[in-house]
Amino acid sequence: FTEWRPYFHHVVAHVDGKYAPIPFNLNTIEDLFPRRMAEAMTQALIDTYGYGAKVPILRMREEGAEQLRYLADYIYKKVFENYTFKQWSLKPEELNPSVSARVPIHISRDNRYFQDVYQAMPVDGYSAMFARILAHENISVATSTEFEAVRGLYPGARIVFTGPIDEYFRFEHGALPYRSLRFRLFERPEAEAQPVGTVNYPNEFDFTRITEFKHLTGQKADGTILIEEYPEAYVPGRNEPYYPVPTEDTAAALVPYQDMANTLKGKIWFAGRLGDYAYYNMDQACGRALALFEKQLAVA
Ligand code: UDP
């Protein structure tokens, strides 16, 4: 369906007036602290966790050796606390620890956002890739169509539902919360507006980050296109649900829906961020789809 373009995503955060690599790593320390201090912190991190380790901020704050306490509090305050509050309207410790652990402190000098062996972008973009996937005689697509409007049309059909699981069950056990985003797309006349694909602004502005697409696509052009991300609550009918909200409360509220889903086994399958109410990355969402097909649909 597509050729691939090798791409390693890079992120910097604007902290104390400087732009420094995220995930927070040994280079970030060097960029933000005086040399002697940076050397001492680096040595302490390597002694405590070992070179190459990935340490979630909430863990570092709790068990960090005394000399790392200052650093852990600094990273929490300057990188995680305000960004997380903008993104979720919650504090990092109110969310499942896996959320802030998605971006652990990396005891290394690897500035890449991800360390997966295979990292790439579709050469012609995702739209072209999906257009090719969907161009099959057995596939028809209906956009701007509510599931409610078609749910009765295919009695006996096997259905994979990737919308919000609470919506499928008509909110019988209450509505689950989702976070949404408002995107502001804008153009700049210069060839390049920022040094890497994404710049995070944990402590300033109402948006969390700005992404400049030509870094991801490899496009050459005189101008450049960027997007600001403004997090907001999901309001049905007004915006789109993008993220489940992983907390203790939502984990409990999800259980009755999962029980209902289990009673439909063999007829309806739920998948994706919204269907599973799980904070999947794109590779995990694809892995989930493949496993669902191979282990369940293909044998059902
Ligand atoms: N996060 C943060 N500061 C950052 C980057 C991430 O506080 O500079 C936290 C924040 O809570 C965010 C989470 O880590 O929601 C996961 O970040 P990721 O970049 O994976 O978010 P996504 O790309 O899925 O929106």
Q: Is the CB of 198 under 6 A from ligand 1?
A: no
Q: Is the CB of 99 under 6 A from ligand 1?
A: yes
Minimum CA distance residue for ligand 1 atom 20 = 102
Report pLDDT digits (tens) over 59-117: 999 986 777 999 999 999 999 999 999 999 999 999 999 999 999 999 999 999 999 99
Minimum CA distance residue for ligand 1 atom 13 = 100
Backbone angles phi and psi of 106, in degrees to 5:
-110, 115
Report pLDDT digits (tens) over 33-65: 999 999 999 999 999 999 999 999 999 999 867
Report pLDDT digits (tens) over 197-248: 999 999 999 999 999 999 999 999 999 999 999 999 999 999 999 999 999 9
The residue type of 156 is G
Which whole number is the average pLDDT over 21-43?
98
Minimum CA distance residue for ligand 1 atom 7 = 80
Q: Is the CB of 181 under 6 A from ligand 1?
A: no
Q: Is the CB of 15 under 6 A from ligand 1?
A: no
CA distance 159 to 267: 6
Report pLDDT digits (tens) over 130-139: 999 999 999 9
Q: Between β-strands 209-212 and 120-122, what pairing exists: parallel, antiparallel or unpaired?
A: unpaired
Kindly give the distance from the C-alpha atom of residue 272 to the centroid of ligand 1, in angstroms, as a whole number.
19
Evaluate if residue 298 carries a pLDDT over 90.
no
Query: Which secondary structure element, helix H or strand E, spans residue 232, and what is its range?
Result: strand 224-233
Kindly give the distance from the C-alpha atom of residue 82 to the centroid of ligand 1, in angstroms, as a whole number.
11
Q: Exposed, middle or buried, 12 (CB in 10 Å: 0-12/13-18/19+)?
A: buried
CA distance 47 to 55: 13
> Mean pLDDT score of the chain, rounded to an integer?
96
Count of other CB atoms within 10 angstroms of residue 31: 16
Kindly give the distance from the C-alpha atom of residue 165 to the centroid of ligand 1, in angstroms, as a whole number.
24
Which tokens in the block code for residue 254?
């999800």
Look at residue 266 in the predicted model and tell me its pLDDT: 86
Instruction: Please name the residues in contact with 52: beta carbons below 8 A apart, sequence gap of 6 or more.
Output: 107, 108
Q: Is the CB of 108 under 6 A from ligand 1?
A: no
Q: Is the CB of 80 under 6 A from ligand 1?
A: yes
Look at residue 297 in the predicted model and tell me its pLDDT: 85
Q: How far is CA 175 from CA 108, 148, 170, 254, in A?
A: 42, 17, 9, 10
Q: Dihedral of the CA atoms 86, 87, 91, 95 (nearest 10)?
A: 170
DSSP codes joined into one string, 140-200: ----S--HHHHTTTSTT--EEE-S-HHHHTTTTT-PPPEEEEEEEEEEESSS-SSSSSEEE
Backbone angles phi and psi of 253, in degrees to 5:
-70, -20
Residue 19 region by backbone torsions, left for phi larger than 0, else alpha for psi between -120 and 50, else beta: beta
pLDDT band at 300 (very low <50, low <70, confident <90, very high): low
Report pLDDT digits (tens) over 243-273: 999 999 999 999 999 999 999 988 899 999 9
Exposure on the CB side of residue 77, measured as CA atoms within 13 A: 7
pLDDT band at 189 (very low <50, low <70, confident <90, very high): very high
Residue, of 300 and 242, whose pLDDT is higher: 242
Look at residue 299 in the predicted model and tell me its pLDDT: 77
Atom of ligand 1 at shortest range from CA of 83: 7
pLDDT band at 124 (very low <50, low <70, confident <90, very high): very high
